[in-house]
């Protein structure tokens, strides 16, 4: 069972930086996969299937948790699920109306939004190197996607909204996880049920006469859904919830900011798309910034960090 395998993984074997970089790679590949699924089913339906399947897989694990742990987990899952639902509606609808490159760039604007939100909301001023890494990553993403030559359309606007919500969501989840002992896999199960149920309710409201559209029969659609469920949701959300409790919001966002690089590599080697030299340069800048921020600071910098956070 995936739940039993995930629950036995050791934090020592999977440190937060590695988990976050792995999530970035998986999510970077998800843009093309989501576009494929949307060829057969509406936005709300794809989100509902993806998250309800996740909740179903994790249901046995959830039922084995102590009652007190389930109650604590639900206290975190309720507010964060609202944010996740908003993020995935904005991202999924945005990807359907813009290019995957534009989507990756605009979502990565949370690189600059998260430090500001963390400072204004939680009162923790990020260290100087995090700001520098954010700027390097943002410039690299600009080169990678070539957004300078494109305009802003409705899909781009939705991705901008998703980036803003992501910044708040990262800070909220980190804040809640640090104040309560929450089982990361149990939180993934609860979030899957809440987000999936919310998306299903939206699908029912938007469907004519409340009749849900019939499920597709295409193997390609279900292959895409399986990938989105098992890797992009089940594994990635478990890993994200585990890492959020042991990382700062800005560090989390920077490591996940390598997502456009992985998206470009996926497009080149799997879809056969071409990438200009400027794109490769941008990708290396993003990967370099992510690697730099994942390395432990030098002793002098580490000693100065508490003063910067005060």
- Per-domain residue ranges of the chain: 22-295
Secondary structure in 3-state letters for the chain: CHHHHHHCCCCCCCCHHHHHHHHHHHHHHHHHHHHHHHCCCCHHHHHHHHHHHHHHHHHHHHHHCCHHHHHHHHHHHHHHHHHHHHHHHHHHHHHHHCCHHHHHHHHCCHHHHHHHHHHHHHCCCCCHHHHHHHHHHHHHHHHHHCHHHCCCCHHHHHHHHHHHHHHHHHHHHHHHHHHCCCCHHHHHHHHHHHHHHHHHHHHHHHCHHHCCCCCCCCHHHHHHHHHHHHHHHHHHHHHHHHHHCCCCHHHHHHHHCCHHHHHHHHHHHHCCCCCCHHHHHHHHHHHHHHHHHHCCCCHHHHHHHHHHHC
Per-block average pLDDT, block size 10, for the chain (310 residues)?
48 64 85 87 94 94 92 91 94 84 73 76 74 82 70 80 89 79 86 95 88 92 94 81 67 71 76 74 79 63 42
The predicted model scores a pTM of 0.75
pLDDT given for residue 151 in this prediction: 58
């Amino acid at each position: 069972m995936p739940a039993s395998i995930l629950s036995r993984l050791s934090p020592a074997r999977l440190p937060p930086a590695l988990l976050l970089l792995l999530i970035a790679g998986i999510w970077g590949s998800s843009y093309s996969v989501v576009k494929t699924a949307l060829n057969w089913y509406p936005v709300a339906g794809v989100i509902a299937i993806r998250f309800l399947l996740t909740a179903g897989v994790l249901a046995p694990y959830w039922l084995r948790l102590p009652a007190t742990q389930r109650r604590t987990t639900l206290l975190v899952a309720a507010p964060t699920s609202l944010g996740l639902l908003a993020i995935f509606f904005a991202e999924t609808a945005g990807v359907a109306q813009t290019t995957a490159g534009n989507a990756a760039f605009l979502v990565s604007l949370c690189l600059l939004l998260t430090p500001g939100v963390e400072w204004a909301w939680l009162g923790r001023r990020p260290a100087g190197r995090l700001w520098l890494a954010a700027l390097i990553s943002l410039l690299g993403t600009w080169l990678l996607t070539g957004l300078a030559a494109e305009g802003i359309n409705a899909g781009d606007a939705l991705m901008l909204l998703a980036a803003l919500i992501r910044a708040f969501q990262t800070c909220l989840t980190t804040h809640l996880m640090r104040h309560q002992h929450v089982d990361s896999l149990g939180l993934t199960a609860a979030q899957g049920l809440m987000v999936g149920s919310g998306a299903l309710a939206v699908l029912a409201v938007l469907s004519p006469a409340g009749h849900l559209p019939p499920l597709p029969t295409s193997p390609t659609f279900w292959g895409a859904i399986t990938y989105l469920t098992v890797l992009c949701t089940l594994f990635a959300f478990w890993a994200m919830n585990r890492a959020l409790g042991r990382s700062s919001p800005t560090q989390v966002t920077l490591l996940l900011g390598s997502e456009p690089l992985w998206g470009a590599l996926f497009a080149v080697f799997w879809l056969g798309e071409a990438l200009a030299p400027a794109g490769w340069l941008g990708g290396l800048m993003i990967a370099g910034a992510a690697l730099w921020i994942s390395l432990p600071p030098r002793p002098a910098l580490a000693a100065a960090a508490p003063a910067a956070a005060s």
